[in-house]
Structure formats: structure tokens, C-alpha cells
Chains A and B, each alone.
Chain A
Amino acid sequence: MQFDFEVEGGNFSKAGTASSEVKKILNQLNVDYKIIKRVVVALYEAEVNIVAHAYRGWITAEIDTTSIRLTLEDEGPGIPDIEKAMEPGFSTASAKVREMGFGAGMGLPNIKKNTDEFKLESAVGKGTRLEMAVFL
């Protein structure tokens, strides 16, 4: 089954609503709570990244009997140096993002840690695409 969500860049009051919906769905499907936590922590960090950095984005969650696959695509400034962005502690977040308790450069490494598959692609001036999966 597939679920789609839209994410509004800059709107912190709504940041996390897609992750919250996915958590409810996975709970209803009786997925193991440890798997749910890994999925929603990775998704929430990625959703906050869209809100923090992009203009708008889309999330697709595909769930089958073997995996939970998440794709996040955004229209935004893109990431000039992905290797650098993956370094723990590296961040380009604004003061506003830091006020929200994020922007310490830990999001992407934490997403990678919680997922079994992780693929990040970006085009400067266009946007970013993150594909990740957690196996059941």
C-alpha cells in the first residue's frame, strides 16, 4: 500500500504531521515497535529537513510485507556537497531552525543510522531526493 503527503517549507507548526500519520498507520498494521521507532525517527528528521531548507516537498510511504520504503522529494536549494552534509555536526540551518531544537547537523547521520537503505541525491538550485527503506 502507498501513502502520499505534501510538506510545506518553512511551516514549523505542521512539521511532523506526515511522520505522525505514518506512525499511526504502522501501529494499526501491528508493525514491531522497534521498527516503527526507526522508521518514524528517520522520517521525522527528513520531514523537518524539508520544512527547514526547502520550499515544498512530497513524501511517499510504501509498505509491503518485506519493507517500509520512504521517498522524500523537495523543491529547494539542494545540497552542494552531500559528503559534507553527512558529516555529524555540519549544518547550514538558520537561527529559526535552531530555535526549534534542530539544526545541529545530526539529522542526516541519524537517518542513515536508522535505515537499511539510504540514497541521497541533490541538484543545486532544484531540489533533493532521499530514498530510504527499513526491512521488516
Chain B
Amino acid sequence: MNIKELISLLDGKLVCGNPQSDYTIHAAFASDLMSDVLTLDNISPLLITGLCNLQTIRTAEMADIHVIVIARGKKVTEEMIQLAMESNIILIETPFSVFRSCGILYQNHVKPVF
């Protein structure tokens, strides 16, 4: 799945990054706990989270995650956008819950990490 399809399926809003990016999403992981995200080995999934602060972006940077979906209608801050830009991270806001976002993506063949 590409970024454009992801945004369309989640009724999302791109807040940082290039919508034409040729980045392909194969797998996703959902968590509000950043320590959980940091335990993922050798994989760079899409991250779906309701945690909306600077550490979300920092965690993605360390874990080599390139795309973050911020769920539950939360709004990212200017600081988050700045940091995401520096780390080439694509940020998408969705009004949907984490559960609904996961369900939609799973139905559309995005794989779980484990």
C-alpha cells in the first residue's frame, strides 16, 4: 500500500512528508507504549498510535520507522512536525481510533509484525 492509499483509507490528513512518496507499507504495529515500539527488531513497520508528543517522533527516528499515523483525532504540534521533517518521517492524522485504523488496514492486506 502506498501513502496516498493509506491517507484515503483512514480519512487521514497528511501533516508532514510527501504524499507522492513511493514508500510502500507492508506491515504495521500499533502501540501507545514507546518502549514496545523500541523492542521491534529488524523491521520498520508503519506505526499507529494515540500517543501524540515529541517522544513519538524520537522513538520512530530510533526505530527506523518512516510513517506514523496519529489516531483518535489528535493534533500534532509544530515541534513534532519540525522533528519529523528533520528525520524524513511522514506524519498522518486520522479521526479514527487505533482499533478502527488497524481493522481497515488489516482488511486491506497490511500485515501484522507478529
Chain A residues with a Cβ under 8 A of chain B: 12-13, 15-16, 19-20, 23, 33-34, 37, 40-41, 44-45, 48, 99-102, 104, 106-107, 110, 113
- Using an 8 Å CB-CB cutoff, how does the interface string of B34-49 with A read, 1 for contact, 0 for none? 1110110010000000
**A101 and B51: CB pair below 8 A?**
yes
Q: Pick the residue among A23, A33, A100 that contacts B62 (CB under 8 A).
A: A23
Could you show 27 A-B contacts with beta carbons less than 8 Å apart? A12-B53, A13-B54, A13-B79, A15-B54, A15-B58, A16-B54, A16-B58, A16-B61, A20-B87, A37-B42, A37-B63, A41-B62, A41-B63, A100-B34, A100-B55, A101-B33, A101-B35, A101-B53, A101-B55, A101-B59, A102-B33, A102-B34, A102-B55, A104-B33, A106-B39, A110-B35, A110-B38
Q: Pick the residue among B35, B42, B58, B61 that contacts A107 (CB under 8 A).
A: B35
Write the nearest CB–CB distance from B19 to chain A, whole angstroms.
26
Q: Give Cα A104 to B62, complex, Å.
A: 18
Chain B residues with a Cβ under 8 A of chain A: 32-36, 38-39, 42, 51, 53-56, 58-59, 61-64, 79, 87
**A102 and B35: CB pair below 8 A?**
yes
A residues near B36, Cβ cutoff 8 Å: 104, 106
Q: Pick the residue among B32, B39, B42 that contacts A101 (CB under 8 A).
A: B32
Q: Pick the residue among B35, B51, B54 that contacts A45 (CB under 8 A).
A: B35
**A45 and B38: CB pair below 8 A?**
yes
Known: A37-B42, A107-B35. 16 other contacts (CB 8 A): A12-B54, A15-B58, A16-B54, A16-B58, A16-B61, A16-B62, A19-B58, A20-B87, A23-B61, A37-B64, A41-B62, A44-B62, A100-B53, A102-B35, A104-B33, A106-B33
Q: Give Cα A13 to B56, complex, Å.
A: 11
A interface, over-half SS: helix
A residues near B39, Cβ cutoff 8 Å: 106, 110, 113
B residues near A48, Cβ cutoff 8 Å: 55
Write the nearest CB–CB distance from B50 to chain A, whole angstroms.
10
Write the nearest CB–CB distance from B67 to chain A, whole angstroms.
17
B residues near A45, Cβ cutoff 8 Å: 35, 38
A residues near B42, Cβ cutoff 8 Å: 34, 37
Q: Pick the residue among B35, B56, B87 that contacts A106 (CB under 8 A).
A: B35
